[in-house]
Amino acid sequence: MTLVSTFRSRTSRLWRVFSSAFLCALIAGATALPGWAQEAPSPTPRPLDKGLPPASPIVDQLLQRLSLEAKVGQIMVVAFSGDTPTSEVFGLIGSQRVGGVILFQDNVGRGSPERVRSMTDALQSRARAPQGGQGTDPGVPLLIAVDQEGGPVVRVGEAATLFPGAMALGASASESLVMRSASAVARELRSLGINVNLGPVVDVNSNPQNPVIGTRSFGADPAMVGRLASAAIRGQQRAGVLAIAKHWPGHGDADVDSHLSLPLLALNRSRLDTVESPPFRAAVEAGVAGIMTAHLDVPVLTAGEGANMPVSLSPKALAELRALVGEDRLIVSDDLEMGAIVQRFGTAGSALRAFSGGSDLLLFRRDAVQARRAHSEIVAAVRSGSIPMARLDASVRRVLRAKDAVGLLSDVPGDMDVPEAPEIVASDVAQQAVTLIQDGQVLPLRSDDHPRICVVQPRLREIAGQEIVVPVTGATLADAVRAIHPGIQVVEVGLDPPRPERLAASECARAAGLVIVGTYNAGMFASQPILLDALRLADVPIIVVALRLPYDFSVAGAIDAFVTGYSMRPASLQAVARTIFGVSGAAPTGRLPVPLGKAYPVGYQYPTLDAWLFPQP
């Protein structure tokens, strides 16, 4: 029996007694509190309310037993290709004793919950096995991580519910709804054997042209982002999944994709302190388990370290982050194979710099050769004394504390919150997000007045290059409209539709007498505004649905109505369609989480929703 299993057997009986008694008391108390399941926070502090919990005896016992090579492995998180664990990833777990695995869409995008759980169980089984000549390194379970943000960035597809993203939650402005959403996502992940969700995104989306954040952010107001991020952290961690807030110091004003090259943010200290930093401070106060760094050039944070120094590799910047998070949280690197850093430092070189600078956990995307090289270089640096053993031990202790906090090393109390069906929560998020910006007394539509409707929408296969996972259901705006109004004709166009497609859309609109057109990041594709010009020539009412960014409004021109749900996920498309037709009282109650000019500031809500008081049956 391993040290971990021995300790678990000693503690499990105590926790079962505690959990049973506490749950009975909780259920008894809940009957006297109307709405408790949806609104009230957990009645007792959770282990992660103040960051990582104190080290239990098993943490220090494990740390003492790990070899230098195993300690360095514990600060590494690796990945693999395909839907079955490879010999390479098993080798990294067995030989380098890596501390975690991060799963991507080619691992878990498709497949049943049982298949995903089988994968995570296989990875954990390999990690729990002792290693070394005589089993000298004890088996240590893995942190298994994903980016399950919702909206355009999800990894688990068919095995989990597809939620709208952060900007949809920002439009709801509801901490309660954010907490419910985060908790529902976390429960599904935990059931799949996943114990870390790399989120929430706490970047403030201050730049409408930002190529990587957009709807991944709650919005453009720092206070609102911090407030909702805190709710997400509490909901996620109370359901037993570690939260890692990202991307420090804030990626929201970047105009370059750090996957490709290094963005420059020439911001002064006052700007950082008032816009970018408040959500990260709020995340720390909410008890977040860790913060992920961004590959950004922010000279005010790296002064004296040379030009083009990424904050993610900067000892000066990482020291400032450590001062913010304290000793009880993880500092996690972003992917160390991104163009922003590898072009100059290489993956292994970036890993050595990130760790020596102050990061605790290093993320590798695919390259097992580089992961092994990084492992060797960090081992050599510790052995030579250029990185003190105490420095390594501090990070490994934090990693082990994180594992203990989610029950990998010793039992913890079960989740005490009353679970909700995730599909219902996703539907609530989607409906409360729907935001109406403009309406020329067209909405809600009455089906009898419009027996024929033309729906113009982008082809899903083109969105595949924009969304990290195309909705596995293949759901479209037309599908959602057809479910309510069967009399539709559909024209599919590209994201940059050529003239023949624009003409076909105009002819469809003219024949139908009304058109619903879905735009997708219209400001980034020159022909989408031209498509709207062609539809105006049909001289029919035009309803524009922004399928992702609300900034499409700025290029929409003269139209009859503009509505957005901030998402291509099925629940969002269905909510938008219900709102367009006023079904069952579905009204556009969302508020703008980002500004669309002076007339439409953050918090804007359509001034009168009287037309939705008499919904269609």
What tens digit of pLDDT does each residue of 477-522 get? 999 999 999 999 999 999 999 999 999 999 999 999 999 999 999 9
DSSP strand E in 336-478: where?
361-363, 435-439, 453-458
Kindly name the residue from 49, 83, 106, 259 that is annotated as catalytic. 259
Residue 125 tokens, joined: 């089984």
How high is the pLDDT of residue 150?
A: 94
| Widest Cα–Cα separation across the chain | 80
pTM of the model: 0.89
Kindly name the residue from 137, 147, 253, 334 that is annotated as catalytic. 334
> Is 251 an annotated catalytic residue?
no
> Is 404 an annotated catalytic residue?
no
Residue 219 tokens, joined: 């919005």
Sequence-ordered list of residues with C-beta below 8 angstroms from that of 74, at least 6 positions apart, any chain: 66, 97, 98, 99, 140, 396, 399, 400
Residues 419-434, buried b or exposed e (16+ Cβ, 10 A)? ebebeebbbbbbbbbb
Contact (CB, 8 A) for 205 and 594: yes
How high is the pLDDT of residue 462?
A: 87
How high is the pLDDT of residue 22?
A: 31
Sequence-ordered list of residues with C-beta below 8 angstroms from that of 84, at least 6 positions apart, any chain: 119
How high is the pLDDT of residue 562?
A: 98
**pLDDT tens digits along 17-28:** 333 333 333 323
What's the burial of 441, exposed, middle or buried (CB within 10 Å: 0-12/13-18/19+)? Answer: exposed
How high is the pLDDT of residue 131?
A: 76
Residues 507-521, buried b or exposed e (16+ Cβ, 10 A)? ebbeebbbbbbbbbb
Which residue bears the tokens 């109650």?
Answer: 589
Three-state DSSP string of 34-83 = CCHHHHCCCCCCCCCECECCCCCHHHHHHHHHCCHHHHHHHCEEECCCCC
How high is the pLDDT of residue 475?
A: 86
Instruction: Enumerate the β-bridge partners of residue 143.
Output: 100
331 Rama sector, left if φ>0, alpha if ψ -120 to 50, beta otherwise:
beta
Which residue bears the tokens 């005896």?
Answer: 57
Which domains are delineated in the chain? Answer: 50-400 (3.20.20.300), 434-613 (3.40.50.1700)
How high is the pLDDT of residue 33?
A: 27
For 454, list phi and psi in degrees, rounded to 5: -100, 130
Q: Which residues of the chain have pLDDT under 50?
A: 1-46, 133-134, 470
Cα-based distances in Å from 291 to 51, 202, 403: 11, 10, 16
Residue of 295, 153, 296 lying closest to 216 (CA atoms): 153
DSSP strand E in 499-549: where?
515-519, 542-546
